[in-house]
Structure 1
């Protein structure tokens, strides 16, 4: 067994450069169930890791030291393990009640592997089999210790997939559809009886021609206009009071730990005074994703993604241009607005005719151009790390940022957005 304990681990793993992707896994109602955590090693710089120690094990150990719980919040975290990771000591770092060990498709079901899986299962760990494409002796050998089976929606025969899904459901396994990219694919997987769905189908805009914002959304927009235009506090309070559910939601949100207020905020006048215009605008933007009249579970992943993007862009901007506070504020706005075309089912260019933004925000949202557009592209690459991994390192070099700095900011953004969503819906 590979020993990852002691000072050697601290020295070797800390030197490892990696970055982290987090892909949402949703249930049949569109509610966030968990995340697959995707660790990628930086291809540049010295590894400083003993050659027999797998990169997977080292990176997982490092990420666990930073705090996996911060990354996965209330859900489960699916973590890929190869053979070396399986036989290593990383499991002392992982919270067994929060982690599903995802067996990669290349791992052979040898007696040694099966014995190790049985041992870990007896300790309370759950297993998932990744990218299963057909029945096999390998699948049958691992199935008794497995709770989840992941089937890819890419490149397979539809009838064979349906047959395999039916058989696995009959064995009592929970099925996860991977690489679900469209709502049509999501619907097809629902019909096949899949339990969970991984992919960004929920973040793709479904454009509906002629759609207008709802009265509640228009009220929020008007409120944001008042905040941005430096209207008097009394006028802002009056606008909030016109919509009772808006007032209740705002008071709930501003008392979240993510705001960091030193005292409980009990009234709208307190909220307006204590928060200030910049913070008030931020929470109004977040509330668009948790609209009172439409508060449904399906909004949760979109709200989580938007809040994470907003916070990550804000932290990146603050790191890169620390002397300019307004730059971080603009970056947050770009991140949180980048999914509003999906939220409203309106093309971004049309949406921006209804929401007044600066030219640099518009350029970033429509064309991914300029400084803020570059930050947004980096965030999107991290989200889609499996398909866009090659673009991450060039982007970091362009921004003169290390992978270690990026991971720290990612962890902070994940933790912050998890806190926000808890209070927003």
Structure 2
């Protein structure tokens, strides 16, 4: 049974990741009736959360899992770790004595319960409101007046409100001001554009370092000289080369030796990684993690479609896909100044080429847009079963170097 699995971050009011909603769907040619479809969902849960592990797929944070009526009644919840799981009851679940009784049992066992796509109209006396810990409100499907009424209704209760599909910084600020506790959407990856004169000098310096990598062949001596003037970058380089990611049998202690071992391809990847890490100070950690997951997935897909010689370019495309948020300038301005291939720049600006096809596939998979995922898989002549494996491997890789990122 082949499955697509992705995750979407959920933030608290301080922009720390509280958890991830696990998005999933079966392969197109899997055919199940409704009851067996629930069994398929159970298989997804077992394979993503139990086999891969909640620590891997959600980084030790809460994993929000959608539950249908049948999954609630079939005791599926008890297969999942209660400390890392939020049982998200779908809005179309018919509430009767059976469901209510089982939800009470699940709650008593210590699980966190959430109610999906809540609207106040017709639900003021929903018996689940006495049990759930979190209520999710769709920001796209409700008006500001409706959201204000929901906040007032639950103001004096222990229920926490989650604003779902918050896609802009303005919506995040608005929801936060209203009193929402959690926020789900891609608002955090949107740039807050600032004047050129307001860009800190340190950030400009990092971009100048990237310019040194623009040459077809990196001048190792020149790069070493730059690194020797910055103790922080030197530390990052030596920590990286001596990390478990490379598993060397001996310790590397010099900049020259580290650069020689990495080689040009890995040096370019390392430079973008460490500089984005520097630029990300003051931004949610999740932003650079998403950059890295995109980078690893783009790189892996490039290898699958026979472009392994250009995989570093695909890696860099993923890395810089969020750089507009870090720099505070429109992406179309920034990419023109970066030392990357023209085709890569064109792809980030929405032009149609092989880079763009891979990038579109990665973005669609990240957001759980499964229909378009299938379209891009067919266009790139990929095997469907490869993408979920590459995605979870990318997450695993990012988890392994999380300490280095921070």
Please confirm whether the aligned pair reaches a TM-score higher than 0.5, indicating the same fold: yes
Change (3 A) 1:118 1:257: farther
Count residues in correspondence: 404
Change (3 A) 1:244 1:213: farther
Map of 2:301 onto structure 1: 316
Change (3 A) 1:48 1:258: farther
| Alignment of 1:235 onto 2:222 | yes
Map 1:147-158 → 2, pairs under 5 A: 147-158=133-144
Map of 1:415 onto structure 2: 396
Map of 1:302 onto structure 2: 287
Map of 1:217 onto structure 2: 203
Map 1:380-419 → 2, pairs under 5 A: 380-385=363-368, 388-419=369-400
Map 1:276-425 → 2, pairs under 5 A: 276-291=263-278, 295-296=281-282, 298-321=283-306, 324-385=307-368, 388-425=369-406
Change (3 A) 1:49 1:193: closer
Change (3 A) 1:309 1:92: same
8 Å contact kept, 1:289–1:299: no
TM-score by length of 2: 0.90
Tell me, which stretches of 5 or more residues in structure 1 are unaligned? 1-14
Cα distance per residue 1:181-227 (max 9 Å; x no partner) = 11111111110121111001111233335357543333333433444
8 Å contact kept, 1:169–1:175: no
Aligned with 2:7 (options 15, 19, 22):
22
For 2:277, what is the secondary structure of its paired residue?
coil
Whole-Å separation in 2 of the counterparts to 1:197 and 1:84: 28
| Alignment of 1:39 onto 2:20 | no
8 Å contact kept, 2:304–2:382: no
| Alignment of 1:187 onto 2:187 | no
| Alignment of 1:134 onto 2:117 | no
Whole-Å separation in 2 of the counterparts to 1:48 and 1:62: 20
Change (3 A) 1:266 1:169: farther
Change (3 A) 1:191 1:239: same
Map of 1:11 onto structure 2: none
Change (3 A) 1:347 1:160: closer
For 1:156, what is the secondary structure of its paired residue?
coil
Cα distance per residue 1:10-65 (max 9 Å; x no partner) = xxxxx2x3212211111212222221111112333555997474443232233235
Give the CA deviation at 1:401: 2.3
Change (3 A) 1:213 1:238: farther
| Alignment of 1:247 onto 2:234 | yes
Whole-Å separation in 2 of the counterparts to 1:247 and 1:135: 59
Change (3 A) 1:186 1:67: same
For 2:25, what is the secondary structure of its paired residue?
strand
